[in-house]
Amino acid sequence: MTPLSNFIKIRKEVSELSINTKIIVVSKTFDIKDIYPIINYGHLDFGENRVQEAKLKWSNLVAKNPSINLHLIGNLQSNKAKDAVNIFNFIHTLSSEKLAKILKNEQEKINKKIKYFIQVNVSEESQKNGIELSIANDFIKFCIHDLSLQIIGLMCLPPANDIPDFYFTKLKKISLENNLLNLSMGMSNDYVTAIRFGSTHVRIGSKIFGNRN
Ligand SMILES: *Cc1c(COP(=O)(O)O)cnc(C)c1O
């Protein structure tokens, strides 16, 4: 099994479950030589969780192949916002007013329109990133109406040791209340369930590349 053959198998499975679901190939920690076969196969959506790593790994490649979409799926610190706006096309982890304002400012400076998912802390875990449930609706409205950010959907990361159904349902409900069409949910171990609950963007790493060290 190679990353490409794993990817092709998953792609077939996903397309049979839903015609609306995109696969984000999560390439964090993996070397560009491991990723190349999937790029050459024609896949365009890749996920990274660290700005610095993404910049080093992808800058040359995206310059040569501007159709590649890079998705930031990890926490973003405001001092990395400028670099993030430069290299990424999608940010899945928008979760504070402060960050939203900084990103708005940075993307205007270079006249780039990033597409955002707002991360919601559906499990209400204190250590987890994501906007609190009780203020999620207000924050979504703020980003759309006050900042005119292009908010395309919501993202969540359910607790690893729990059945995810409840959290996926909750995220879907908030998206419907706010007329948001996209849901970034589901990883290697729960993407089939996530698709059943309406995921439009599954983020898959280890099932393609193997375990990360
Ligand atoms: C690493 C990561 C993934 C991919 O996880 P796998 O279990 O390897 O598929 C998806 N989403 C986020 C936010 C991640 O950090």
Per DSSP, the residues of 58-72 read HHHHHHH-TT-EEEE
Pairing of strands 69-72, 90-94: parallel
Cα(202) to ligand 1 centroid in Å equals: 9
Residues with Cβ < 8 Å from 72, sequence gap 6 or more? 47, 48, 49, 51, 54, 84, 88, 90, 91, 92, 93
pLDDT attached to residue 213: 81
Are the C-beta atoms of 83 and 108 separated by less than 8 Å? no
Contact residues of ligand 1, CB 6 A cut-off: 26, 28, 49, 73-74, 157, 187-188, 203-207
pLDDT attached to residue 51: 98
Q: Give the whole-angstrom CA distance, residue 83 versus residue 211.
A: 28
Backbone angles phi and psi of 101, in degrees to 5: -65, -40
Cα(190) to ligand 1 centroid in Å equals: 11
Sign of CA dihedral 168, 157, 78, 39: negative
pLDDT tens track, the chain, 213 positions: 999 999 999 999 999 999 999 999 999 999 999 999 999 999 999 999 999 999 999 999 999 999 999 999 999 999 999 999 999 999 999 999 999 999 999 999 999 999 999 999 999 988 889 999 999 999 999 999 999 999 999 999 999 889 999 999 999 999 999 999 999 999 999 999 999 999 999 999 999 999 998
pLDDT attached to residue 109: 98
Domains of the chain: 3-209 (3.20.20.10)
Cα(119) to ligand 1 centroid in Å equals: 14
| Atom 6 in ligand 1: residue holding the nearest Cα | 205
What DSSP string runs through 129-191?
-SB-HHHHHHHHHIIIIIS--EEEEEE----TTS-SHHHHHHHHHHHHHTT--EEE---TTTH
Cα(75) to ligand 1 centroid in Å equals: 12
Residue 92: strand, helix, or coil: strand
Q: Give the whole-angstrom CA distance, residue 71 versus residue 181.
A: 17
The verdict on pTM exceeding 0.85 is: yes
| Atom 7 in ligand 1: residue holding the nearest Cα | 188
Q: Give the whole-angstrom CA distance, residue 83 versus residue 51.
A: 7
Pocket mutation for ligand 1, best pick of 72, 75, 203, 204 (most atoms within 8 Å of C-beta): 203
